Structure 1
Amino acid sequence: MGRGVDLSPRKKSEVKTLLLHTSHSQRKIAELAGVSKSVVNKIKINLDQDQPLSPKRKGKCGRKRITTPRSDRKIRDICLQNRKKSAGLLTQMVQESGIQVSKRTVQRRLAEEGLTGHRPAKKPRLTEAMKKKRLAWAREHRLMSVEDWSKVCFSDESTFEILADKSNFVRRRPGEKFHPDCIVERVKHPVKIMVWSVISAKGVGRLYIVQGTMRQDQYKQVLDTRLLPQLREWFPEGRNSCLCMTQHHAIKQGV
């Protein structure tokens, strides 16, 4: 029987029966019951002193919690001030603050606070001027109804890398580190392609492959050959029936 493992009531009853109704030695009883000799001795002492076999302990068992509520708050505050640090670096900072705990203890305390690790969400870097313009735009259009938004189109271009695999995690068994399904193949100079398209409540519009960088002349060509035909298809009723939001500005289209 392993050290520190509590016996089941059935196992205790078995040892008690062997002690009371047989003449076996404690060593033999331990062998028959599959427990240690010290366990048999403790049960015999309880029987001799007319003590119950069930433990008197109440609440949680195990080692006393190594941290105090105050140190728990300190660990939490250090994490909140350094959200992007690894558990190892956070542990080092906690120890430097005078709290001597292990990395695993820090991880458990943070988990108790709901501070678990995740991949960070990605968003564009915005200047204060850009934030103010976006807020002003949102306030200007906050009263638009669902019907109004159904007449809005959004267009933009985006760049994609050919053969780019941006997976950050993979599940594998020991020895599968270089399995074809567990590796990420990288191209030294990946081919990049820029595409333009438009979306609305009516669906996805025509796709345009940008040649190199979107220049003024090419952008005019996109409007003439992709955007305007798509708007005529979505909004055949004509002028003032839609509003197109591009990455540069919002323009009303008279189609």
Structure 2
Amino acid sequence: MVTVRSDDIEYKQRCYVQALRFSAGWTYDRISKDQNLPLSTVAKICNTPATPKRKNRCGRKIKIDTPTHRRLVYVATLNAENRRKPYADIAQLVGVEADSKTLQEAFAKEGYHRCSARKKPSLDDIKRAKRLTFALAHRHWTVQDWRRVIWTDESYIWLGGKRGRVYVTRAVEEVWLEDCLAPKFSKQDSVMI
């Protein structure tokens, strides 16, 4: 008889041997004769799982663990200045060495992404108070009341300073946090048309 190692037997046959033993209740001897396998091989198949377990962990090692994810997010959301820094700068502050894709995945696992900052008008405390007073005074107006108001439109031409899209690190629910907003340019840098 040819020697057959249990490791060399196909997965389907291993499952079939185990089914004959545990579901049908066949003896090792009967299975051995039916499948043309040595008795020791049948015994070994029946005493090991159908799907062998890996001895070592498979896959890539985790580069950044969960506490490090949270530390990265904490530093990135500490203030408005840090929210505007790219992932690589935040990693450097924390002392983590990783490529941009790994950092992006680390922030994503914690629910944070790089997003365009929402624009908001540049308002001081006096303007905010006036807007709140107006909103509270007119909160009960109907659609018919608002139709009697004439709205005018104006446009500004921006003259200078740093221009471009501002990106911030934020979670979905932090859209309107003060640190996550990019103020619109003030009227000193523009001309109204």
- TM-score between the two structures when normalised by the length of structure 2: 0.50
> Relative contact order (C-alpha < 8 Å, sep 6+): which is higher?
2
TM-score, structure 1 as length reference = 0.39
The structure carrying a bigger helix percent of its residues is 2
